[in-house]
Structure 1
Amino acid sequence: MRILTVLGLCVVVLFGGPSPVTATPDDYSWPLRPRPALARAFDPPEHDWLPGHRGVDLDAAPGQAVLAAGDGVVAFAGVVAGKPVVSVDHPGGLRTTYEPVLATVAAGRRVARGNPLGTLEPGHPGCGTCLHWGLRRGREYLDPLGLVRGAPVRLKPLRAVGAGP
């Protein structure tokens, strides 16, 4: 049994565990160039109504071009709660959001990975000038870094069939 557990851990380390994002890094790229530093990580709330950080903040410069992370269709380009926002729908039911971004695209426009969506505006709470990048599948918020980093490594012990708890 101990050998099966060790073997299972090796498989998970080498190949990764299940990823909440089914895309591959070949389908998506960073929405800023050069690759930005992470200013604030994804921190989803335990429940929908609780506070949390439903995306990541990426260090950037005012006026920097914000790029489509993947192929899709612009679902929204406008202002939400006083902040300029762009959202893009991607295959597989994924939606990426970018804020605060002054859009240079309109809703309904098809975009390819790397196409400019707009320019970064200063004033994002907590970091001054950074891009808040979000990802959803339906109503579920996901970590957008999964689009560009691949599957996270998760260590989970495996039990042999018929083995006790």
Structure 2
Amino acid sequence: MGPWPASASSAELRNPAGGSRAVPQARLAWPLSPVPVVTKYFDAPETPYGAGHRGVDLAAVPGQDVLAADAGVVVFAGLVAGRPVISVDHDGGLRTTYEPVEPKVAVGDQVYRGQVLGSVLAGHPGCAIAACLHWGVRRGDEYVDPLALTGEVGEFRLKPWGGGP
């Protein structure tokens, strides 16, 4: 897979295993509109098969439209472990995945940024509300934080808090 286009602005994505990779800012659009509340954040696994959360969970309502985060080709629309999943390949080696989603697209369909891919279904494990959309992104074999590719998230530093007023 080739490098990102030279014209793209970039930010650093930090890999917990060490190193960093430049990726374009605001490369992807949000898959839900309006911009949703994040109910569970990305937690990169330390090893390829280790524990972690390989995407983000976004607050949704059952039946809400799921939108393509960028132009691409649908490479999967079916069941994984009994849950309906859609995966889309994009230029630059990115693949976005959305679940649980009732698909309105089929494998091989070309989609445009913002196109409806399907609708959110209730029943995502660990979702404390009526429905959550799990949104994942990979570049090659590496999972990356989808929020870092929306241009909405920067680097955060936590300060110690003494618990006082």
Same fold (TM over 0.5): yes
Other-structure match for 1:149? 151
Change (3 A) 1:83 1:122: same
Change (3 A) 1:21 1:131: farther
| Aligned AA (1:82) | G
Question: In the alignment, is the contact (CA less than 8 A) between 1:134 and 1:143 conserved in 2?
Answer: yes
Other-structure match for 1:98? 98
1:103-118 residue pairs with structure 2 within 5 A? 103-118=103-118
Unaligned 5+ residue runs, structure 2?
Answer: 1-8, 14-20, 158-165
Question: In the alignment, is the contact (CA less than 8 A) between 1:17 and 1:154 conserved in 2?
Answer: no
Per-residue deviation, 1:56:
0.2
Other-structure match for 1:18? 12
Other-structure match for 2:47? 47
| Aligned AA (2:76) | F
Per-residue deviation, 1:22:
2.5
Q: Give the aligned length.
A: 140
Overall identity of the aligned pairs, in %: 54
Q: Distance in 2 between matches of 1:61 and 1:109?
A: 25
| TM-score (norm. length: structure 2) | 0.78
Question: In the alignment, is the contact (CA less than 8 A) between 1:21 and 1:146 conserved in 2?
Answer: no
Relative to its length, the structure with more helix (as a share) is 1
Unaligned 5+ residue runs, structure 1?
Answer: 1-14, 156-165
Per-residue deviation, 1:24:
3.5
Question: In the alignment, is the contact (CA less than 8 A) between 1:71 and 1:112 conserved in 2?
Answer: yes
Q: Distance in 1 between matches of 2:64 and 2:45?
A: 30
Change (3 A) 1:16 1:69: closer
Q: Distance in 2 between matches of 1:135 and 1:141?
A: 6
Per-residue deviation, 1:150:
5.9
Change (3 A) 1:105 1:21: farther
Q: Which has the higher contact order (CA 8 A, sep 6+)?
A: 1
**Residue deviations 1:71-94, cap 9 Å, x none?**
111111111110000000000000
Per-residue deviation, 1:132:
0.2
Per-residue deviation, 1:51:
1.3
1:59-78 residue pairs with structure 2 within 5 A? 59-78=59-78
Other-structure match for 2:135? 133
Partner of 1:18: helix, strand, or coil? strand
Question: In the alignment, is the contact (CA less than 8 A) between 2:36 and 2:60 conserved in 1?
Answer: yes
| Aligned AA (1:134) | G
